[in-house]
Amino acid sequence: MNHKNAVAAVIVSTCLILLLWHFALTDKAPEPLIQQVSMLKLLEHKRASPDPSGSHQGDSSIRLEPRFFLSTNYPPVTPEERAMWEWWRAMAKGDPKFEWKRPIDFFGQVLDYQDLPIEGAGIRFHWNHAKGESWADATSDHTGKFQLRDQHGKVLTLSVEKEGYYPASGLIFEYAAFFDPSFHVPDSTRPVIVRLQKHGSTEPLIFRGATYNLPADSRVAYLHLETGKWSSSGGPNTISFQTFQSTPDAEGRFDYEVRISAPNGLHPHSDQLILQAPEAGYTPSIQISRLASDPGYRTVVEGLYYYKTGTGKYGSIGFSMTLRSEQEATIGYNYRFNPSGSRNLEYDPEKRINQDEYSRR
């Protein structure tokens, strides 16, 4: 019996093996394999089908995007920076116009300088893209927030205005070039804050703008703030300019130094809105020097300063000076001067003390 049972067991095992082998040849593939094949077909379909938005083409359509952030380092230093540059080169190779097809979303909030939301501010968007340029308008809600969604392009600019406030304009946001200082990564949880300054109380001011040819041979020229006249002698309410130049070289380049002085000092600033001069922090004079051998050599000097006069009065001056090899310089300038002694420099044309003057002396 034992021998017969063993033979029977061998026969049964052999039949089972043959049956399983048959099913393996004739049955459908297991479910996981079906899923893998389907996924491969889906990827092939995505490679063959263009993006309906037109935002990607060619090889760049399947390029995975890295995490973006502003980086001006080149060559790239970190693995994250290298990943962004590899992505950039691959995109440029696949579609030279990819920069103008980047997704644009923007989230903003309008506040005053006391951090209070401003409702009803008008926002104007402008952006360029592969087909040209577009505009859109929005209005801030009761929390001051506004947004632009689901657009494509490269650079977005916006301006914000509200009656009773000074407008904010020329705000620029780059969406493609991560190495541009204005590169922007939108975040709905961290809106861009746009601050508007409310019109305040204004005082009568002297406001002048003009051009003048300055000597560039070390002689001092004094601008008299009350009259707008230039002379070779100073006074308590003056700003002085003194320029030194070396002999030009064969290419016409020369070393130079420009000195700007005020009796009680100057205070550099970059305020877009000039509202009030600071009480302290003034320097007696400012020196700006350039060598002919400097890589970024240029013969234009610009400045924006608050000043305090010898009589304790305040103002602001902005200028652009162009130096020439003929020992002469041309300066274009405008200034505000409050003769009351107040630090208030908020300008109202209707309260301008002097008549309109713009002359070349």
- How would you write the pLDDT of the chain (361 residues) with one tens digit per residue? 455 555 455 554 555 455 445 544 444 444 443 333 333 333 333 333 334 334 444 444 446 889 999 998 888 899 999 999 999 999 999 999 999 999 999 999 999 988 999 999 999 999 999 999 999 999 999 999 999 999 999 999 999 999 989 898 889 999 999 999 899 999 999 999 999 988 888 899 999 999 999 988 899 999 999 999 999 999 999 999 999 999 898 888 999 999 999 999 999 998 878 888 999 999 999 999 999 998 888 899 999 999 999 999 999 999 999 998 778 899 999 999 999 999 999 988 888 998 555 333 3
Res 28: pLDDT: 43
Residue 262: how many other CB atoms lie within 10 Å: 26
- Residue 11 is predicted with a pLDDT of 56
* Domains of the chain from N-terminus onward: 99-195 (2.60.130.10), 206-351 (no CATH)
Task: Tell me the β-bridge partners of 289.
Answer: 257
Q: How far apart are CA 170 and CA 113, in angstroms?
A: 19
The reported pLDDT for the residue numbered 325 is: 78
**pTM greater than the 0.95 cutoff:** no
- pLDDT recorded at residue 295: 82
- Give kind and range of the element (H or E) at residue 36: helix 31-48
202 exposed, middle or buried (CB, 10 Å; 0-12, 13-18, 19+)? Answer: middle
Query: Dihedrals φ, ψ of 199, to 5°?
Result: -60, 130
What integer pLDDT is reported at residue 140 of this predicted model?
97
**Tell me, what's the pLDDT at 256?**
94
Instruction: Tell me, rounded to whole angstroms, the distance of Cα 286 from its chain centroid.
Output: 28
